[in-house]
Structure 1
Amino acid sequence: MPFPSPSDRQDDGPALYIVSTPIGNLEDITLRALRVLKEVSLIAAEDTRHTRKLLSAYEITTRMMALHEHNEEERASRIVAKILAGESVALVTDAGTPCISDPGYRLVSAATREGVRVVPVPGASALLAGLAAAGLPTDAFHYQGFLPKKQGKRRDILTALAPLSHTFVLYESPSRIQRLLGELESILGDRPAVLARELTKRHEEFLRGTLSTIARDLGARPSVKGECTLMVGGATETAAPPVADLDEEVRRALEGSEESPSRLAKSLAKRLGLPKGEVYDAVVRLSGDT
């Protein structure tokens, strides 16, 4: 199928453009994204100081407005009003594709409710860049992004991910990546995994192996730098986590959990491959100690 000519484009008339920007390498921006950023009346940016570096590199002088998680709801109505009045606005975040673990979905929702045309301008994404080079199965995958900071909620999510048979993807900061690797190994067993660090930047690195080997590699370093994208292999019949001590597994699950004993036992039994009655007895017996 031939490519459409540049004149046969949908980038005409008032619209909200969802523009992907580089995740590290400034060359990873499309010609279309550069044109849209030049032509719109306003750029709504997560951090205007960060976005100004990109605009300056390509001599773009379009005015900007800050739009981040703390003011998005309030500013969304102002931006929608501008588009309804005939202006076009581009939404960008600090890196990658807006709305993917970044601000933007409230603005997009407000725009669609008012009948505003929303136009994606695709480009860089840490999720897709990491998956494409990981070497893990990608016929199906689950994107989880950043986990909550509270231990109980983290464990609930990871427990739900345990039975998935396809690759899943997590984001984590360098200061917490080793904690995440330990949690994953404890709950899932020692799965195949790939850690992508500093994607598209000078010191880009892929660590391939298992959760434990990657953790050992990072542990031998004086520090870990750069945002991390972690791809973890799905569950297989031979990859069920070992149960060396049911009581210890139950104690860990009880920490910070607000589930009833029955529901907690059901999820644990499914993950560990044990009879629900056996796990339920342990939950009831140990719940008073936690």
Structure 2
Amino acid sequence: MLYFLPTPIGNLDDISKRCLDILNLCDIIICEDSRVTKSLINLLNTKYNLNINPSEFYSLHTHNESEFFTKFEAKKLIENTVVYVSDAGMPCISDPGVALVEFAQQNGINYEVLSGANAALLAVAASGIVQKEFTFLGFLPNTGRGRELAIQNALNLTYPVVIYESPKRVLQLVEAIAKLEPKREIFAIKEATKKFEAKFKNSAKNLVAMLKSANLKGEWCIVIDGSKNNTQNTISVADINELDIPPKQKAKLLAKLTGKSVKEIYAQLNG
């Protein structure tokens, strides 16, 4: 049986008893980074007096998917208790794991996804902005025209938008929004569930000033209020297809716009 387990995004106490029970019984762990996962297991064993001791570890992330599935035997997922974890939070949500879900589906392998910590939903609940619907965009492209278009697209959406951002780019993101729409309301949270968690909420213009005087270290989640201008034109698939940017970046933009997988779109672009 294959299990997808969410791990704490900061506070170790956020892991569920059910997750601990399955980890304690598992034979194989497939993970994003074995070093991170082994460190987590050591902490869990010490804190909860457990003996999590899988016989095998396998790394699976976006850069080694093809190699992994040519070598890994599907029968191991049937004959053993196998756990997949990303470095933090819910697998498959702006984290690796989707390819393993698809592999299980294609090979008739039973799998289960357990509930648990997720930074996006935490930020939605804490924002005071989201009433019902929202759009999750994960990480935007890092640089260039692709990033500019992604920010503009986010501002054009009528539902609130949730974005993950690194400490290196969070101020630049809010500055870019402030130039386009200085009055747009934004909620930002960093280091969620950790000792130095911090929340900010203000107009884009005022938030720039707040962040300039803040410690930006840590992972960020941003919630942007939806557009109140229903007459704005959104960015189309044709607009993105016309961009002179690398296929992988174009695939990521098209995936966010269409809901299709990045891998599927990338294959089409290079077909």
Fold shared, TM-score > 0.5 on shorter chain: yes
Q: In structure 2, the residue corresponding to 1:27 is in which secondary structure?
A: helix
Distance (whole Å) between structure 2 residues aligned to residue 236 and residue 49 of structure 1: 46
Conservation of the 8 A alpha-carbon contact between 1:73 and 1:106: no
- 1:31 matches 2:17: yes
Q: Deviations over 1:117-176 (max 9, x none)?
A: 120011000001111111112300000010112321112222222232211100111011
- 1:230 matches 2:222: yes
- Deviation at 1:188? 4.1
Q: Deviations over 1:248-274 (max 9, x none)?
A: xxxxx9xx9549xxxxxxxxxxxxxxx
Relative to the length of structure 1, the TM-score reads 0.73
Superposed CA RMSD in Å reads 2.3
Match of 2:115 in 1: 122
- 1:162 matches 2:155: yes
Q: 1:69 aligns with which of 62, 84, 90?
A: 62
**Equivalent residue letter for 2:224:** V
Structure 1 residue runs of 5 or longer lacking an equivalent are 1-14, 241-252, 260-290
Match of 1:20 in 2: 6
Match of 2:38 in 1: 52
Distance (whole Å) between structure 2 residues aligned to residue 80 and residue 187 of structure 1: 50
Cα 1:68–1:208 shift into 2, 3 Å: same
Conservation of the 8 A alpha-carbon contact between 1:93 and 1:103: yes
Conservation of the 8 A alpha-carbon contact between 2:159 and 2:225: yes
Match of 1:145 in 2: 138
Distance (whole Å) between structure 2 residues aligned to residue 58 and residue 109 of structure 1: 29
- Work out which of the two has the higher radius of gyration on C-alpha atoms and give 1 or 2: 1
**Equivalent residue letter for 2:189:** A
Q: In structure 2, the residue corresponding to 1:22 is in which secondary structure?
A: coil
Distance (whole Å) between structure 1 residues aligned to residue 201 and residue 230 of structure 2: 20
Distance (whole Å) between structure 2 residues aligned to residue 190 and residue 19 of structure 1: 39
Q: In structure 1, the residue corresponding to 2:177 is in which secondary structure?
A: helix
Cα 1:79–1:136 shift into 2, 3 Å: farther
